[in-house]
Amino acid sequence: MNNGSAVQARGLHKSFGDVNAVRGVSFEVNAGEIFSLLGPNGAGKSTTISILACLLQPTKGDASVMGHSVLKESMGVKAAIGVVPQEIALYEDISARENLSFWGKMYGLRGPKLAQRVDEVLEVIGLTSRQKGRVDKFSGGMKRRLNIGIALLHKPQVIIMDEPTVGIDPQSRRNILDNVKELNRQGMTVLYTTHYMEEAQELSDRIAIMDQGQIIARGTHDQLVKIVGELDRINLTLSASSEQLLAAWRSTDGVHQVSATAQPDEPVLDGAVTLLVDDSNVVLPRILEKATNAGVRVTSIDIQEPNLEAVFLHLTGRALRD
Amino acid sequence: MKAVDIALKDLWHSVRNAMFIVFGLLLPMSTGALFYFAFGGQSGGDEGFALAPIEVQVVNLDEGQMGFSAGELLSGVLRDAIPDLIHAREASDATAARAAVDRQQAAVAVIVPAGFTAAIMELEGRAAVELYEDPTLTLGPGIVRGVLSQLVDGFAGTKIAASTAHDQLAASGLSPDATTMQAVAMEYADWTQTVSEGQQSGTNPLFEIQAPPAQEQEGNEGVTGILALIMAGMMVFYVFFTGAASAQSILLEEEAGTLPRLFTTPTRQSTILGGKFISTFMLLAMQVVVLVIISGLLFGVDWGDPLPVAAVTVALVVLASSFGIFITSFLRDTRQGGIIYGGVMTVMGMLGMITVFTGTVPTASNATNTVSLIVPQGWAVRAWRLLLDGAGFGEVLPTVAVMMAAGIVFFVVGVLKFRNRYA
- DSSP string covering B249-262, please? HHHHHHHHTHHHHH
Write the CA distances from A306 to A230, A321, B174, B412, integer angstroms: 6, 17, 139, 60
Which residue on chain B is closest to A50 by alpha carbon?
B264
Q: Does the structure show a pLDDT above 80 at A174? A: yes
Checking ipTM against 0.90, whether it exceeds it is no
CA atoms within 13 A on the CB side of A285: 2
Backbone angles phi, psi at A251, to 5 degrees: -90, 0
The vertex-A183 CA angle with A182 and A188, nearest 5°, equals 140
Which residue on chain A is closest to B16 by alpha carbon?
A93
**What does the alpha-carbon distance between residue A61 and residue A26 come to, in Å, rounded to a whole number?**
9
Per-residue pLDDT tens over the stretch A28-83: 999 999 999 999 888 999 999 999 999 899 999 999 999 999 999 999 999 999 99
Task: Give me the mean pLDDT over the A16-21 stretch.
Answer: 90
> Residues of B375-395 as b/e, b for ≥16 C-beta within 10 angstroms?
bbbbbbbbbbbbbbbbbebee
**What does the alpha-carbon distance between residue A135 and residue A150 come to, in Å, rounded to a whole number?**
13
- In contact, A299 and A215? CB cutoff 8 Å: no
The model carries a pTM of 0.65
Q: Are A54 and B266 an interchain contact pair (Cβ–Cβ within 8 Å)?
A: no
* pLDDT per residue of chain B (423 residues) written in tens, 0 to 9: 888 889 888 888 877 777 777 777 777 777 767 766 666 554 444 444 456 788 899 998 888 877 778 888 888 888 877 777 788 888 888 899 999 989 888 888 999 888 888 887 776 778 888 889 888 877 778 888 877 887 777 777 777 877 787 788 888 877 777 777 777 777 776 776 676 665 555 444 443 434 444 444 445 555 667 778 888 888 888 888 888 888 888 888 889 999 999 999 999 888 888 888 888 888 888 888 888 888 888 777 888 888 999 999 999 999 999 998 888 888 888 888 777 777 888 888 888 888 777 765 555 556 777 778 889 999 999 998 888 888 888 888 999 999 999 999 998 898 888 877 765
**Residue of B9, B16, B264 to mutate when probing chain A, most A C-beta within 10 A:** B264
Q: How far apart are the first and last CA of chain B?
A: 22
Go through the domains of chain A in sequence order and give each one's CATH number.
5-226 (3.40.50.300), 231-305 (3.30.70.100)
- In contact, B75 and B58? CB cutoff 8 Å: yes
Q: In CATH, what class is B54-214?
A: alpha beta
Q: What percent of chain A has pLDDT over 90?
A: 57
What does R_g of chain B's alpha carbons equal in angstroms?
A: 32
Per-residue pLDDT tens over the stretch B54-102: 889 999 888 887 777 888 888 888 887 777 778 888 888 889 999 998 9
A111 inside 8 A of chain B by CB: no
Q: How far apart are the first and last CA of chain A?
A: 38
Write the CA distances from A84 to A6, A81, B262, integer angstroms: 17, 10, 12
Strand partners, A22: A14
Q: Does the structure show a pLDDT above 60 at A1? A: no
Per-residue pLDDT tens over the stretch B276-285: 888 888 888 8
CA dihedral B283, B286, B287, B289 (to 10 degrees): 160
Which residue on chain B is closest to A76 by alpha carbon?
B266
Residues of B near A (Cβ–Cβ under 8 Å) read 1-2, 5, 9, 12-13, 16, 256-258, 260-268, 423
* In chain B, ranges of CATH 3.40.1710 domains: 54-214
Q: Does the structure show a pLDDT above 90 at A205? A: yes
- In contact, A183 and A152? CB cutoff 8 Å: yes
Backbone angles phi, psi at A38, to 5 degrees: -110, 130
**Residue A262, amino acid:** A
All residues of chain A having their beta carbon less than 8 Å from the beta carbon of residue B262 are 106
Coil, helix or strand at residue A315: helix
CA dihedral B271, B23, B354, B324 (to 10 degrees): -10
